[in-house]
Structure 1
Amino acid sequence: MPRHRLAALFEPQSVLVLSDIDLPAGREAGARLRGRLVQVLLEASGEVSLPEPLSLPMPGGRLDLALVCVSPTRLPQVCDAVRPLRPRCMVVLSHPDQSADPMEDAAYCRSWARLHDCALIGPRSFGVQRPSLGLNLSHDTPHALPGKVALVTQSRSIAAAVMDWADDVKLGFSAVVCLGDEASVNVAAVLDYLAMDARTDSIALYLEDIASAREFSSALRAAASVKPVVVLKSGHGRDEPGGQHDAVFDTVLRRTGAVRVPYFVQLFSALKVLGYAHRPKGRRIAVFSNGNGPAQLALDVLGPTGVLRAGLSLATRKQLQETLERGAETANPVVSFAPLRPQVMARVMQLLQEDADVDGILVLLSPDPLSDLDGVVDELARIAPRAGKPLITCFMGDSQMRRLRHVMDSAGAPSFRTPETAAGAFGTLTMHHYSQMLAQQILPPEALGRPARVDEARAIVREAQRQHRQALGPRECRQVLACFDVPVQWLPEADSPDGYGDMPPMSIRVRRDPLFGPYICFGRGGGAMSGEEAQSGMELPPLNRFLARQLVERSGLWRRELSRSMTPAAFDMLQETLECISDLVCELPTIASLTLDPLYADERHLAAGGIRMELSSTSMLVLPETTGYRHLAIHPYPRHLVREKTLKDGRRWLMRPIRPEDAEPLQELMRSLSDKTRYMRFVSMLRELTPHMLSRYTRIDYDRELALVATVKEPNPANRGHPRERIVGFAHYLRNPDGRGAEYALVIGDDWQRCGMGAELMRGLIEAAQEQGLTYIDGWVLAGNSPMLGLMAYLGFSNDMDPDDPGMRRVWLDLGETRRQ
């Protein structure tokens, strides 16, 4: 497996420091880098030269990392001096001498990095720290303490402030990265590395700008799927009039599984709570306190965080009355005024845990000399790790209560100092749970009822473009909607909704963000949506039924009116309409905006009074499926790869990209394999895939990987013999850490081997890898697996022996050469 291109930055085997000022890296090489770090302190002026010989290990004939801090006018000289060393990574720190043209410096660094295949951070970077290695490649003199949190920031001042604050509270880091001007290495590349970094458990991210929406969203989803990611971004709520960029950014975070916090002070408290093992199943919280004041302070901040006050059941309230003293409050919040004892706390926690209407518990305690707070906290520390629901605590005060907070922290349960912070932390926890659910829904589970007539719709749009029109006419709009089977009827007049009762008018709008592309809004019809309504009822395509439902239910119109009046049949029709419009947006990148307003619902139907589609200058001659759907922030299900195939013996089968609901059929394929096939594929006798492996193979981010399945139709005995789809072959590739190639995996059911199916699946992988710009595809095959080695040779793969394991072969294909043939 090749090294990640940023391994030379975070795990360097050799470091060269070139500077004309004193830097921390030159004063202490670090316990893991002695003999592998050389500092060259340059004169303030004069020629730049390196000592000879340069006594550094150079694996592969390349220097791993160069740290540069010189006046901007001397940067080209330094780059020329290190060029013969071919550094894999370079960090260009900010310098006391100010640049006359920072943009020109960034352009030079970008060009140099691309020309010399170097991952370059900066210019004007605050630097990088890797505390576990004792490596400080920054201006900051105090070394950060080792920890499990990675800090990634685009701001030198934010990085400096966080480091100073962390030093005061003794917070440790796995890595600290300040990217500066992002000439070569961007946030997405760093997230890709940290997602796999064993030293990192969670990521704190400060953002100002994003260069590539697709690259960022794909990398963020990959990281957030395995580790909590908390994002602080400047500009919260400061859109220009009529703009929705900040709301669209929030929508991106929801879909990737990350959590946004609005204030700097919340960044690390959010990481603290997201490290908690327990996840809430809902947003309803029960509050217990030994005084009224703290409980009320916590309740005051619940609403804006999206957390709801749980309504305790009558049975719970009755048992609380029996447990607590006379006069205690047993509604939510539960407040006891008597001195607390451990056994009372244990019973209260048990009752709140068992209440089905409670999703989480917040315990607020103030100092009380009459209570056995040490015993109470010991009991909470015993309960919290085994509790079935999140238990968050707040111990107000410092001199007496700090030690108690440490007890809870040591037990793995987050504890906070103020009621507001504790309540906000639970809000972060619920939002993270909700975002993770949405992140699981990136791809449509199945194609809609009938295949859309995409070519017909594109022809309509092309004709309008040929006539240099910027919008489609009403008749053309209806034709395009019909091509995608949008299930709406049409009213003769927009203001005549006869037969639709008192249902409020609705609207569906598609708008385009300059960075993240199209987004879909649902809300009240008859005019422009309010900013709050557009933000809550907003989602990015592609949509499936679950995402469409969430989009509607988040809207203010649903909460206030539709939830009480819309029939299930009409609601189902509305969700289908949103899915169809999402499909339309994915396949027609030239649609700049779409407005379906007003939209009415009766018991079973939807009727629209008006439709408008505006066009952009994007040419429909370039098909989105051939360019990776670059107009979208999230890659949709690649339906263009669905192809019917016929084997040499006449048997028909279907090759298609895998879908999330394929988990069980894929497991059936693995269970059906013979011991020999299983061993040849997995180099083990693994009889079935683990739940993690199943999720990994079926929930695909098609911007960076691909999984194809071969399916056949067969009778289903469990459903009266009606045909069902069975998976008989599976092929997958995942990008290698170097970002240039991908490693493939292929398995074919025993009854379907040696009939050409494996070759067709591999050709599908190769074609898709070429479309994504990969330069090679490789895999590891047992030396005794003659059929697989023969198939790869037939497809043009080279075959290399593994020098570390003679029993393995590396088979690989140069996709550039393949493309030229």
Structure 2
Amino acid sequence: MLRHRLAALFEPRSLLVLASRPVPVVLHPPRILQNAITVVDVQAGTPMALPERLNGLEADERPDLALLCLPSARLPEALKAMQAYRPRALLLLTSDVPPADPAADLVLCQNWARQNGCLLVGPRAFGVQRPGMGLNLTHMPELAQAGRVALVSQSGSIAAAVLDWAADIGLGFSAVISPGDDADARLADILDYLATDPATDSIVLHLENAASPRELTSALRAAAGVKPVVVLKSGRAQQGPDSSQDAIFNALMRRVGAVRVPYFVQLFSAIKVLGYPHRPRGRRIALVSNGAGTSQLALDVMGANSAVFRADLSRMSILELTKLLEPGAEVNNPVITRAPLSAETLRKLINIVAVDRGVDGVLVLLTPDPLTDMPALVQQLAQAASSTRKPVISCFMGDATMRPLRHLLDNVGTPAFRTPESAANAFGVLASYHYNQTLSQQMLPPEPLGKPPRLKEARLLLRSARMQGRQSLLPEEIARLFSCFHIPIDAFSKVKLDGQGTEAIAMAIRVHRDPELGSYINFGSGGRQAISANDRAVELPPLNGFLARQLVERSAVWRKILSRQMSVVVSDSLQEALERVSDLVCELPEVESLVIDPLHATDTQLLARSVQVVLSSSESSELPEASGYRHLAIHPYPHNLVQTKTFQDGTSWMMRPIRPEDAEALQDFVRDLSDETRYMRFVSMLRELTPRMLARYTRIDYDRELALVATVQVPNPAHRGYMHEQIIGFAHYLRNADGRGAEYALVISDQWQRRKLGQQLMKGLIEAAQSQGLSYIDGVVLSTNRAMLALMAHLGFQNDADQDDPALRRVWLDLGEPPAAGKR
């Protein structure tokens, strides 16, 4: 089995240490490296002498990891001395002597690592901790407790602060890393490793800058698809008060399925709550408290514009609470009792509000009460949190007597917080995670809306404007451009408005480009009478109907006015207009900005009084589908891979990339396979795909992997014989742990075999893998699967014996140098 390229860093099997001062891994060597650590004590003024053979290794065997903690002046000598060993990874911890020229050190180490095929972390790295393995490759004297949360930080100081705080409350980690001057161990690589790390259940990322936004976006989406990911991004002060980048970054986090927290204090709440097994299915929270003040503090950070808000309890719940609590208690949410609270009363309280259909989670807020048995309440909360299907989070406000109670709950996996605000924010993390996961599963979009755009005509129009020396389109050119993309807006309309109702409200659709995160779309109020200068809800293309609708509904102008006044017909037109504008942005990377302002709505149509389209300063030499849509943070659905084909008997079929809504059809496809075909593909008698497998095969990040399906149109007996699409073949590749190649999977429906379908699907996969810069594609095939082995041989694959299982064969194909347009 291939090791991930970062395994040498996170789980080294051998270690070489060159240090001028004691480092924790030498003072407290982990059991996994007891006989495989070689330590060289580098003293000032003495030559650097390395042994001929490293501990635990054969003479010609490469060590997994070399750790250097040396003054800058001795780096060249150390790198030269290590030339004979060529470690797989090199970690350079911060030295106690500041370097005279940090940039020169970085270039030196980069060149050495490149020449020796070595993964570089640092210089000036904080390092790595793997508490579950006892591995402390940092300067921190104490190893963090073992846990299930991984911490990744671009700042060593932030990582140190989080570890110190976690030690105080007994919070553990599966891994901690801060790579420092990020030369080779990129954040995307680290996220890829942690996404498949069995010791990690969730990931916390502190981000200062995104050097490669598309690469980071792809890795975040892949990681967040299988584990909760929380991101703290700093740097808002440098963006300026009028910058939209913060809103754009928030939009990106929604689309990749991660949760963004804006403040450092909220990062702690996120870390504590990530391990909680229950996730709210919505934003409606019931508050239970033994005093009015605490609940009000929580409500101050909740509301319609926040991640969570106060739930409306049903009449039945209010009636039951009235019977349960003392006269004068508040029962309309927040539920407030001022009488001494018993464990039994608390149990009944939680049960009543938790079963209410209008409640998605329960927040219990308690302050010290000398008349209450507080430890008994803790025990009851722990039981309720484990038995209730909805999340139950608590706040024990105070320190002297309440702090030990919080620790008791933390130790049994029930999040307890110090302040009402932090507890409410923790609920916001859980709710945002569920909402963002819904957005991340949206198709991107699968196919053109209704009529496909007239792309050739639109591109000629832009070229004509450039040839005339213009970057701004004329009104007649904009009208033609809108026509090419079938945008349902009457541009430069001369229709008179009566100035009443919806017509009096000016809206705006704006498209701009961020230098780091690419093109983005915002919708909000427009014109000189805008209800708010900040009413600009932001979303990233590509959009589908659901995402376009969410964009509109996040705006203040929708919540305050349009939701009550706009007709259904025009509301649908607005949604379609946003989808088609998104299509325009995706397919025409030359469009730098597009502003429709003001935009008005009658009862039947959308009217634009002013539209401006500005082109970028330079013309793109490649079509966006050939360059990988580099002007976007999110790769759209690859329309260029959709192909209509014909079998030799004249039957028409289609080869296309899979879409999220294909999950049911893919499940039917697997269920209809014969036992023999199913066994040949899955090497088991698996009769259907698990929900996780379905999600993995249909939620594709088109920037890094691909799944192709072959489909035909057949009558559907369940719907009066109307034709519907049926999957008859499936081909998929997923990147291997080494980052250079991918493992393929191929299965063809029994009744459609021996028609060269598998050959055509595999050719499609191979071409896509080459365009994504992969150097090989491989797969494991049963040695008895002669048909598959013959097909692979026909396609030029090599056939090797599997070292671990003689019943399997490894077939692989060298993809050679990828086309220039496909290089990443």
The verdict on a shared fold, with TM-score over 0.5 as the criterion, is yes
Deviation of 1:301 (Å): 2.2
* Aligned position for 2:100: 100
Residue 563 of structure 1: how far off its partner (Å) = 0.9
Aligned to 2:133: 133
One-letter code of the match for 2:696? Answer: R
> How far apart in 1 are the matches of 2:13 and 2:287?
52
Give the 5 Å matches for 1:720-731: 720-731=720-731
Q: Spell out, residue by residue over 1:758-808, the C-alpha distance to the aligned partner (whole angstroms, 9 max, x if none).
A: 111001000000000000000000001000000000000000001221110
Shift of 1:205: 1.5
5+ long unaligned stretches in structure 2: none
Deviation digits for residues 371-413 of structure 1, max 9, x if unmatched? 3434333333222222232211112233433343344334433
Contact 2:501 2:565 in 1 (8 A): no
Q: Is the 8 A contact 1:507 1:525 kept in 2?
A: yes
Residue identity (%): 56
Counterpart CA distance in 1 for 2:652 and 2:490 is: 39
Residues 119-168 of structure 1: per-residue CA shift (max 9 Å, x gap):
21111111111222222212222222222221111112222222332333
Aligned-partner Cα distance in 2 for 1:219–1:97: 35
What's the CA shift for 1:733? 0.2
Which string of whole-angstrom CA distances, capped at 9 and with x for unpartnered residues, describes residues 84-132 of structure 1?
3222111111222222332233233333333332221111111111222
Pairwise CA distance, 1:531: 8.6
Name the CA distance, whole Å, in 2 between partners of 1:45 and 1:450: 76
- Indicate the residue corresponding to 1:561 in structure 2: 561
User: 1:200 matched to which residue of 2?
Assistant: 200
Matched, 1:29 2:29: yes
SS class of match (1:269): helix
2:64 match: 64
Q: Report the more deviating stretch, 286-295 or 155-164.
A: 155-164
Superposed, 1:463-502 pairs within 5 Å as 463-493=464-494, 502=503
Matched, 1:753 2:753: yes
**Cα distance, 1:47 vs. partner?**
4.8
Partner residue in 1 for 2:10: 10
**Matches of 2:449 and 2:516 in 1, distance apart?**
28
> What TM-score does the superposition give when structure 2 sets the normalisation length?
0.95
**Is the contact between residue 781 and residue 788 of structure 2 (CA under 8 Å) also seen in structure 1?**
yes
Provide the C-alpha distance between the structure 1 equivalents of 2:387 and 2:703, rounded to a whole number of angstroms: 39
Matches of 1:134 and 1:413 in 2, distance apart? 26
Q: CA deviation at 1:755?
A: 1.0
Quote the residue 2:359 is aligned against: 358
Per the alignment, residue 782 of structure 2 pairs with 782
Q: Quote how far apart the aligned CAs of 1:628 are.
A: 1.4
Partner of 1:166: 166
Conserved? CA contact 1:154–1:179, under 8 Å: yes
Q: What CA distance in whole angstroms lies between the structure 1 residues aligned with 2:403 and 2:28?
A: 35
**Deviation by residue 1:320-355 (Cα, 9 ceiling, x = unmatched):** 211111111122211111122233222222221232
- What are the equivalent positions in structure 2 for 1:472-551 lying under 5 Å apart? 472-493=473-494, 502-526=503-527, 533=534, 537-551=537-551
Is the contact made by 1:458 and 1:620 (CA closer than 8 Å) also made in structure 2? no
1:301 aligns with 2:333: no
CA shift digits 1:437-490 (9 cap, x unpaired): 111125224431122222221222223233332222222222222222111123
The one-character-per-residue Cα deviations of 1:495-543 (angstroms, maximum 9, x if unpaired) are 85779854411111011111110010000121597997355x1001111
2:580 corresponds to: 580
Aligned to 2:182: 182
State the superposition RMSD in angstroms.
2.2
Deviates more, 1:150-159 or 1:747-756: 150-159
Alignment-derived partner of residue 215 in structure 1: 215
User: Counterparts of 1:51-130 in structure 2 under 5 Å?
Assistant: 51-57=51-57, 61-130=61-130
Instruction: Quote the Cα distance in structure 2 between the aligned partners of 1:634 and 1:194.
Output: 21
Question: Could you tell me which amino acid in structure 2 is paired with residue 512 of structure 1?
Answer: R
Q: 1:688 to 1:243 in 2, by over 3 A?
A: same
Distance 1:704 1:74 in 2: 40
CA deviations on 1:149-202 (whole Å, 9 max, x unpaired) are 211111122222223323333322211111111011121111111111111122
Equivalent residues of 1:497, 1:600 under 8 A apart: no
Query: Residues 818 and 782 of structure 1: is their aligned pair in 2 closer, same or farther, counting only changes over 3 Å?
Result: farther
- Partners of 2:77 and 2:375 lie apart in 1 by 64
Q: Distance in 2 between matches of 1:608 and 1:59?
A: 75
Query: Matches of 1:365 and 1:590 in 2, distance apart?
Result: 57
Equivalent position of 1:794 in the other structure = 794
User: Are the aligned partners of 2:228 and 2:258 in contact in 1 as well (CA < 8 Å)?
Assistant: yes
Match in the other structure for 1:334: 335
Question: What does 1:280-679 correspond to in 2, within 5 Å?
Answer: 280-303=280-303, 305-441=306-442, 443-493=444-494, 502-526=503-527, 533=534, 537-679=537-679
* C-alpha deviation, 1:83, in angstroms: 2.7
- Mapped contact 2:205–2:230 kept (Cα < 8 A): yes
Q: Is the 8 A contact 1:494 1:598 kept in 2?
A: no
CA distance in 2: counterparts of 1:819 and 1:249, whole angstroms: 32
Q: How many residues align?
A: 819
Name the residue aligned to 1:153: 153
CA contact (8 A) 2:16 2:54 kept: no
Q: 1:491 to 1:611 in 2, by over 3 A?
A: closer
Cα pair 2:730 2:748 within 8 Å, conserved:
yes
Structure 2 distance, partners of 1:60, 1:443, is 50
CA separation in 2, counterparts of 1:551 and 1:199?
Answer: 37
Q: How far apart, CA to CA, are the structure 2 residues paired with 1:531 and 1:216?
A: 33
AA aligned opposite 1:653:
W
Deviations 1:597-643 (A, max 9, x none): 22122233222222211111343331111121111111110010001
Structure 2 counterpart of 1:408, one-letter code:
L
- In the superposition, the TM-score normalised over structure 1's length comes to 0.96
Would you say the 8 A contact 1:305–1:424 is kept in 2? no
Q: Which moved more, 1:588-597 or 1:383-392?
A: 383-392
Tell me the SS of whatever aligns to 1:816.
coil
State how far apart, in whole Å, the 1-side matches of 2:534 and 2:60 are: 57
Counterpart CA distance in 2 for 1:32 and 1:574 is 61
Partner SS, residue 251 of structure 2: helix
Secondary structure of 2:236's aligned partner = coil
Rounded Cα–Cα distance in structure 2 between residues aligned with 1:413 and 1:501? 49
Question: How many Å separate the matches in 2 of 1:555 and 1:752?
Answer: 50
Residue 230 of structure 1 aligns to a residue whose secondary structure is strand
Give the superposition deviation at 1:295: 1.6
Gaps spanning 5+ residues in structure 1: where? none
Moved more, 294-303 or 677-686: 294-303
Q: 1:190 to 1:497 in 2, by over 3 A?
A: farther
Instruction: Specify the SS of the correspondent of 1:806.
Output: coil
Q: Secondary structure at the match of 1:209?
A: coil
Q: Is the 8 A contact 1:512 1:518 kept in 2?
A: yes
Q: Deviation of residue 749 (structure 1)? A: 0.6
Distance (Å, rounded) in 1 between the aligned partners of 2:85 and 2:530: 58
- Structure 1 window deviating more from structure 2 (641-650 vs 92-101): it is 92-101
SS at match of 2:708: strand
State how far apart, in whole Å, the 2-side matches of 1:31 and 1:281 are: 43
Amino acid of the structure 2 residue aligned with 1:376:
L
Rounded Cα–Cα distance in structure 2 between residues aligned with 1:438 and 1:669 = 26
Confirm or deny: 8 A CA contact 2:531 2:557 kept in the other structure: no
Matches within 5 A, 1:234-245: 234-236=234-236, 238-245=238-245
